[in-house]
Structure 1
Amino acid sequence: MFVDKAKIFVKGGDGGDGLVAFRRELYVPEGGPAGGDGGKGGDVVFRVDEGLRTLMDFRYQKHFKAPRGVKGKNKTQHGANAEDLIVRVPPGTIVFDDDTGEMLADLTKQGQEVVIAKGGRGGRGNTRFKSPANTAPAIAENGEDGQERWVTLELKVMADVGLVGFPSVGKSTLLSVVSGAQPKIGAYHFTTITPNLGVVQVSDERSFVMADLPGLIEGAHTGIGLGHEFLRHVERTRIIVHVVDMSGMEGRDPYDDWVKINEELKLYNPKLAERPQIVAANKMDMPDSEENLAAFKEKIVAERPDMEVMPISSLTRKGISELLYRVADLLDTLPDPMEVAAEEARLAKEAEGVVYRFDETSDNYEFTISRDNEVFVVESESIEKLLKRTQFASYEAVMRFGRILRNAGVDAELRKRGAKDGNTIRIGDFEFEFFEGGSDAYLYEER
């Protein structure tokens, strides 16, 4: 079964916790801190594998979680970093963040890798908190949570040539004649409902990949007839071979068919109108095809004098070799679209200028305070990260957490907003009780 869209959950591994430990050795009186740092959690990495052609595997497994980092050890030994979780995807996979719609990656080449969910940093052991003022700290940090998100995967088939046209114009038959592919062929509309790929070998030892794309109908750009499911595969092709039924057996005018399909391509993505296109005038073995071809050429020359029209018959194989040679010659003159896209992305990134990002390791804790009835709510991504990394079983760690908030100005802002002794303060999923003592204020976990 061909599956070209999937939604999955990915989570980077949590970092290992830091350790509180001290040297306890003979002849080493008052041994200092010896707790090691926790290891980094594993990343979730997507890797392109040419052996895959669909997203079928993601129908059965939708959750991917990387392993956690190892906890720190005594004797200042750091916990081991967790191994990355490698998720194999077929070439042509585009990854979107399901919440924001942001494109995270466009994976096209064999072996290409991208980190989709980063693993959390390991927590620091108490060795890291040693200072002249505190030579035996009993403080360590929890490991940082790994990044988690829902992502949507979309597959656009990777083909040099895409066959487009109305249903039953002979696309599948043409692919079966020129390659080893065996698509389903029948005398009814929408015989093909998923893309079929075939490798075409030209007699001069050149080759290319051809895709038989499902038939389009009028209104496909709006999603009619699963239009979007079909049209997105056209975007990857370097050349469009537009198969037109010259026999007019179904009462349709070949020129009108050509105009309507091109209009659908243009409305879906204006860049498709600029894609090199060859018209394969098919079914030339039928009685009225010659007259229809003459009328077709007369009309098309008036609108697109540069458009190539090549008469063929998939049944008798007349004109097939000429078509394949012309396609191969045209491919030789075109640049690799993935390299062009990569260069455009690089130039766009340079045009944006330098992006300054908040350093989560700094003391710049930005926050906002609001009220939820009698509860004061402190909102801050950096403070919530600090909270999760604090080991509240340690009195020293609690004091450090309160000291950081005080230095960041949280206490002063709470007092300004009217917080009094005993009021509840909420930070993320945790609630604390606010206590004032002299000119200082401390936050303790509510018991």
Structure 2
Amino acid sequence: METHERIATRAWVLHPDLKSDKNRREADYALAEAISLAAALPDLEVVGSTKVPLPRAHPGYLFGSGKIEELKQLLKENEVELVLIDGPVTPVQQRNLEKAWKVKLLDRTGLILEIFSDRARTREGVLQVEMAALSYQRTRLVRAWTHLERQRGGLGFVGGPGETQIEADRRAIDEQLVRLRRQLDKVVKTRELHRAARAKVPFPVVALVGYTNAGKSTLFNHLTGADVMAKDMLFATLDPTMRRVDLPDNGPEVIMSDTVGFISDLPTELVASFRATLEEVLSANLILHVRDISHSETEGQAKNVLSIMDSLGVGKDTPVLEVWNKIDLLDDDNRAALNERADREEDIFAISAITGEGQTKLLDAVKAKLASETHESQISLTFAEGRKRAWLFQEDLVLEEEQTESGFDLTVRWTARQEKRFRDL
């Protein structure tokens, strides 16, 4: 039987360096990140990239006529089939540029949607992506939505059935959105049942958050022995993964959650639709903010993560430990300086998820931080409440016990979650 190897689409990345944007990022760094984004799609081959200084965005074409002609020649010479623009592109600009350059075009939102679609594994993740993609496409009448019957990952922007330029029927898209929302409601209810079942297990939840590619999944794998996809690639993890972990030295058992990486300028469609995938973070007892401390833009990435957490209402009442990962990539002097600073400052830990350096100290801190989340209570039980008493001893929560005429007086140390579980027995 004859096999046909898939030919990668030749792509070119453009970063418009918009001078009028006060919040614009350093162009070299932004372009490098955009190239990494493109590399996260298996069917793309990035054959080149260009920074385009832009005093202001032109409403119809984004770029000026001279720059459009110059780029047209560049794309033709390199046999480019797909242009990825690192920023927002209006439907009119997209249509005009595709016509002028005779190539397909994706803006940053479209590219991230493609990656999310390619990576989503759970039923909820797939539904969330499809809804986000439909909301995005609804504004772009130049796109088809036949990708919903696709056989492979990807949304059909790059290739496949969505390639045909069919004007999307808004009514059909709205009907599809209603259908997907109903399916999603069922999935979310199922997840709520799972979460309620987990809440009955009195294990604290420790959530890993961080900028994409900061090393969360590698650390998660190291700590839990799980085999989560951990590649040097943006958005390697999309759906939250949870595992039970025993903390060292008879520490408590915890549930550790690995989550999707954050990224600057995350499309609003995805911030809204992926809030559900971050729900484990919303209910966490402790958050580990994992940073790639070797990255030149580590401070900017950290600010971005904190900003998104803030917009989601995460971290206001939940303790956060900052984990400076990838110290194995630093030279000896920088590494020593960072270790010294981490030793001085509370709630900062320098580690390597690859070598294991610093992880014991981090786990000890997790144990101590969770212990500080506990409180002592005095409770009285009758002889008839033997089941409740047995549960307290089984969970190793009893500090002292004294028998009385009617039952037992106990001093217990527990978390609010454990206390609730006890009251519900």
- TM bucket by the smaller chain? 0.3 to 0.5
More helix, by proportion: 2
TM (norm. structure 2) is 0.40
Question: Which protein has the larger Cα radius of gyration, Structure 1 or Structure 2?
Answer: 1
TM (norm. structure 1) is 0.39
